[in-house]
């Protein structure tokens, strides 16, 4: 099967699945105003305003509103639907396991969990030998940090500025992008390295280029001054997505691991968004040729279902078990989401989607660079594979974030039929975060690029250069 296509095999059950190019009908014909009124009356705000449109369907690369608007989804839901919405093979796995093997006592093990562990660990570098499976990225990072604390016998954790690792206590304590205020004391022993932002960092060489080595050395000097001598681990994303799609500079991850080893710390790499082919490699760590002590996955592994993973070495697993490591949840190693994750990996390797993601990434970034050349408000284009950031500024000389302009461009793109995530929160700095499903075709990328081009052209203040 060619990359980017969707299998149409009928399941063994009597359920008939619609074709992937057909508009969903499950919630067709509902009154959007009535739905919105009920939403405003009964749904509690959890930190983000709800989008005005009510989404009533999703299929393939598109989402649909109650008013019938079809929108190209360039963020894969919440950066998660790696293979697109409603992939028929994934739907069949969900149906079969909902019918025959859905949820078990947390101390039990089942074939899909064993198969996922086998397939995942065999695809990862040596030293990432054992895995267990949870629900969310925050949960997997919570578990990874606790694992590092038990293994090392220490408690201080280092994170990067502008990081995002989740909403649980340990994960939130080591994230510095947003969400640290208003909830009382955070976990003790949390420290921050400077965010590796090549576009805005003040650390510069005489020629003006980004001096990340000096910045990293400075950061560790500050950590050593703050530490009480109990440094356990450092957690990092290879591409800081919530920060605005900032890619770690080449060599940064290797240097970070050396700094950790010099202090007897573990390195935790959070691949919630970068993993499972998204960046043109199976894992972003493959691109950097670095094996962390602990790897965490979520989002892409479950194709939109709540599934995350913690993967580590035989040694860390053995020693931590001997020391009483404990992370027991209602949905640990649940069979249904594990079966979905196993199928995601099967499809990924069977259909050559890692190479396809890399190739489509070239198409995407070439198109975004054309927009950079055409509109002066595009300050920076960055990313790797099918992860991209487009930062909007008032002008390129000052690099002043143009938050309102970015919102206007994003709103116009949405009206024209493209969803490219732009947070309204100022901490994002007016950056579009683009991550379409890796089954995307070149034609669909060009469709989105054309919409984005028209959105820039139709929005006052985008500073056209020709």
DSSP letters for 224-240: HHH--S-EEEEEE-SEE
Catalytic (active-site) positions: 164, 237, 270, 273, 299, 433
pLDDT tens-digit map of 303-321: 999 999 999 999 999 999 9
**Structural domain harbouring 360:** 32-87+353-457
Listed as ranges, residues in the chain with pLDDT below 50 are: 1-18, 424
Please give the tally of structural domains in the chain.
Answer: 2
The b-or-e profile of 218-244 (16+ CB within 10 A means b, else e) is ebbeebeeebeeebbbbbbbbbbbbbb
Show which of 320, 350, 380 is a domain's final residue: 350
State the Cα–Cα distance between residues 244 and 425, nearest whole angstrom.
12
Verify that 179 and 300 share a domain, yes or no.
yes
Residue 14 lies in a domain: no
The SS3 call for residue 280 is coil
Query: How many beta carbons lie within 10 A of that of residue 104, not counting itself?
Result: 16
* Phi (first) and psi of residue 40, to 5 degrees: -65, -30
Confidence (pLDDT) at 9: 37
CATH number of domain containing 75: 3.90.1150.10
CATH number of domain containing 214: 3.40.640.10
Verify that 249 and 366 share a domain, yes or no.
no
**Are 247 and 287 in contact, with CB atoms under 8 Å apart?**
no
Show which of 318, 350, 382 is a domain's final residue: 350
**Are 340 and 303 in contact, with CB atoms under 8 Å apart?**
yes
Verify that 37 and 185 share a domain, yes or no.
no
Confidence (pLDDT) at 173: 83
Q: What is the largest CA-CA distance in the chain?
A: 69
Verify that 304 and 369 share a domain, yes or no.
no
Q: How distant, in Å, are the alpha carbons of 189, 370, 374, 390, 452 from that of 367?
A: 44, 5, 11, 11, 10
Residue 342 lies in a domain: yes
Verify that 210 and 312 share a domain, yes or no.
yes
Rounded to 5 degrees, what angle do the CA atoms 424, 425, 428 make?
100
Residues near 204 by Cβ (< 8 Å), separated by ≥ 6? 210, 211
Rounded to 5 degrees, what angle do the CA atoms 349, 331, 169 make?
100
Q: For a pLDDT cut of 90, what percent of the chain falls above it?
A: 80
State the Cα–Cα distance between residues 276 and 309, nearest whole angstrom.
12
Verify that 374 and 389 share a domain, yes or no.
yes
pLDDT tens-digit map of 49-63: 788 889 999 999 999
Show which of 350, 377, 409 is a domain's final residue: 350
Residue 399 lies in a domain: yes
Strand partners, 194: none
**63: nearest Cα among 302, 429, 449, 421:** 421
Joined together, the tokens standing for residue 451 give 């919409």
Give the residue ranges of DSSP H helices in 174-227: 212-226
Look-up of token digits 């965010």: 195
């Amino acid at each position: 099967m060619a990359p980017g296509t969707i299998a149409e095999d009928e399941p063994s059950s009597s359920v008939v699945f619609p074709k992937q190019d057909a508009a969903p009908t499950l919630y067709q014909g509902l009154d959007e105003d009535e739905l919105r009124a009920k939403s405003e009356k009964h749904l509690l705000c959890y930190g983000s305003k709800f989008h005005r449109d009510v989404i009533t369907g999703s299929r393939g690369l598109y989402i649909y509103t109650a008013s019938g608007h079809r929108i190209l989804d360039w963020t894969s839901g919440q950066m998660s639907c790696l293979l697109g919405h409603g992939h028929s093979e994934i739907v069949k796995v969900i149906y079969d396991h909902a019918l025959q093997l859905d949820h078990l006592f947390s101390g039990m093990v089942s074939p899909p969990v064993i198969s996922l562990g086998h397939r995942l660990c065999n695809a990862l570098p040596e030293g990432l030998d054992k895995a267990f499976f949870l629900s969310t990225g925050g949960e997997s990072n919570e578990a990874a940090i606790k694992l590092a604390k038990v293994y090392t016998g220490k408690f201080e954790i280092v994170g990067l500025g502008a990081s995002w690792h989740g909403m649980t206590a340990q994960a939130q304590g080591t994230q510095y992008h947003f969400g640290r205020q208003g909830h009382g004391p955070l976990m003790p022993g949390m420290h921050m390295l400077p965010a590796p932002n090549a576009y805005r960092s003040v650390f510069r060489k005489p020629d003006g280029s980004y001096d990340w080595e000096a910045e990293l050395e400075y950061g560790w000097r500050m950590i050593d001054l703050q530490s009480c001598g109990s440094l356990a681990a450092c957690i990092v994303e290879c591409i800081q997505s919530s920060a605005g799609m900032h890619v770690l500079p080449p060599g940064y991850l290797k240097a970070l691991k050396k700094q950790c080893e010099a202090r007897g710390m573990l390195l935790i790499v959070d691949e919630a968004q970068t993993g499972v082919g998204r960046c043109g490699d199976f894992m972003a760590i493959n691109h950097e040729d670095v094996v962390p002590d602990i790897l965490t996955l979520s989002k892409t592994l479950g194709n939109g279902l709540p599934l995350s993973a913690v993967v580590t070495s035989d040694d860390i697993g053995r020693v931590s078990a001997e020391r009483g490591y404990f992370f027991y949840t209602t949905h640990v190693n649940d069979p249904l989401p594990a079966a979905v994750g196993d199928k995601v990996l099967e499809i990924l390797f069977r259909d050559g989607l890692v190479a396809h993601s890399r190739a489509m990434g070239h198409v995407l970034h070439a198109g975004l660079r054309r927009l950079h050349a055409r509109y002066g408000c595009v300050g920076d284009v960055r990313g790797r594979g099918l992860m991209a950031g487009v930062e909007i500024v008032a002008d390129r000389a000052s690099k002043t974030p143009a938050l309102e302009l970015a919102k206007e461009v994003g709103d116009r793109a949405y009206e024209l039929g493209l969803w490219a995530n732009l947070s309204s929160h100022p901490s994002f700095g007016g950056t579009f975060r683009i991550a379409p499903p890796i089954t995307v075709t070149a034609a669909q990328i060009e469709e989105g690029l054309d919409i984005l081009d028209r959105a820039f052209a139709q929005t006052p203040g985008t500073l056209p250069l020709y």
